[in-house]
Amino acid sequence: MNQPSKFQTLVLPDGEKHKQGVSAVFNAVASGYDDPALRFFPLCADCMVSQLRPSRGWKVLDVATGTGALAGALAQAIQPDGRVMAIDLSEGMLARAEINIKKMALENVDFFQMDAEQPEFESDYFNAVTCSFGLFFIPDMLKALKQWRRMTRSGGAVLFSSFTENAFDPLVHIFIEDLEKFGLDVTDKLVASARLKDADVCKDLMVAAGYSAVEQNVVQVGYHLREAEEWWAAIWNTAMRGLVEQLPQDVQAEFKRTHLERVASLKTDDGLWMNVEVRLTSGVVD
Ligand SMILES: C[S@@+](CC[C@H](N)C(=O)[O-])C[C@H]1O[C@@H](n2cnc3c(N)ncnc32)[C@H](O)[C@@H]1O
């Protein structure tokens, strides 16, 4: 009998249904995703470009591109003859990304609505594949990483970001506690990012997918929010909104009020610290 793979537990059941849910959540949050409260996304994109050090002329695939923060930073670094292919499941996010790239007057980014688990690009094509805060949404992460390796040329790199276990501490724990107080059972609805909070899991996945020279680096891209209301903007414009929407509609306003009252009590003279500790994991294709 086949032994269960070490990563079987990291494969979400009912993957297609999960993807539909993820896509629906991101279509809903797309219009608010570039809110200033969420500026850690572009801040992290800059850190990823610094780590990757792409050269002019590269071809890069940005997986789960969202509203294109990393795609834009990469396109800027490799222009004019380099090209970014940027894929995402959510048409809402892709529509915002196209607007953002136009605003930057960049002409070297192509967007495709495509599943990161089964990308349809040819093999040995890209100099690099990047994925910022997207891998943990993918039902079969190992399968996806193997696909990204297939499309990367020998000597090329894959780089992804994920949140460490300290990220959003204590705000996210208070959020989960308050949801539970309002009767939501969050045990089987873990915030997706928890799947990749451990450094070893990130590294072991890369090794199992066949990458060599796996490296990890932790960066802090957090900042002080001025008001508790900005923390709500962070919840409401990301996948965390999906948890709030599982509460009955008539208690959501009361949830917001009591949760923000608790969060506001953490404010100091500097504001409300939002810890965004991020792990960057990279590997090379032999
Ligand atoms: C948290 S956002 C990150 C967006 C962007 N990379 C950034 O750093 O700002 C996650 C993105 O992953 C996309 N996504 C989730 N599962 C996906 C899949 N299977 N294939 C492609 N995109 C996916 C979502 O639609 C969403 O846009």
Residue 225 sits in a domain of what CATH number?
3.40.50.150
Could you give the CA distance from residue 48 to residue 157 in angstroms, rounded to a whole number?
12
What are residue 218's phi and psi, to 5 degrees? -105, 130
* Number of domains composing the chain: 1
CB atoms within 10 A of CB 107: 11
Examine residue 254 and state whether it is found in any structural domain, yes or no. yes
User: Is residue 124 predicted with pLDDT exceeding 70?
Assistant: yes
Could you give the CA distance from residue 131 to residue 65 in angstroms, rounded to a whole number?
7
Read off the pLDDT band of 152 (50, 70, 90): very high
Examine residue 5 and state whether it is found in any structural domain, yes or no. no
Ligand 1 pocket test, pick from 27, 115, 132, 137 with the greatest ligand atom count within 8 Å of Cβ, gives: 137
Examine residue 26 and state whether it is found in any structural domain, yes or no. yes
Half-sphere exposure of 258 (CA within 13 A, CB side): 13
pLDDT tens digit string along 10-41? 788 888 998 999 999 999 999 999 999 999 99
Examine residue 2 and state whether it is found in any structural domain, yes or no. no
Residues in contact with ligand 1 by the CB-under-6-Å rule are 19, 22-23, 26, 41, 64-66, 69-70, 87-90, 93, 115-117, 132-134, 137-138
**C-alpha 266 to ligand 1 mean position (Å):** 31
- Is beta strand 223-225 parallel, antiparallel or unpaired with respect to 272-274? antiparallel
**C-alpha 87 to ligand 1 mean position (Å):** 9
Examine residue 36 and state whether it is found in any structural domain, yes or no. yes
**C-alpha 68 to ligand 1 mean position (Å):** 10
Domain around 15: 10-284
Mean pLDDT calculated for residue range 81-104: 98
Atom 2 of ligand 1, residue of closest alpha carbon: 66
Atom 27 of ligand 1, residue of closest alpha carbon: 66
User: Residue 103 burial by CB count (10 A; 0-12/13-18/19+): exposed, middle or buried?
Assistant: exposed
pLDDT tens digit string along 158-214? 999 999 999 999 999 999 999 999 999 886 666 788 899 999 999 999 999 999 999
Examine residue 275 and state whether it is found in any structural domain, yes or no. yes
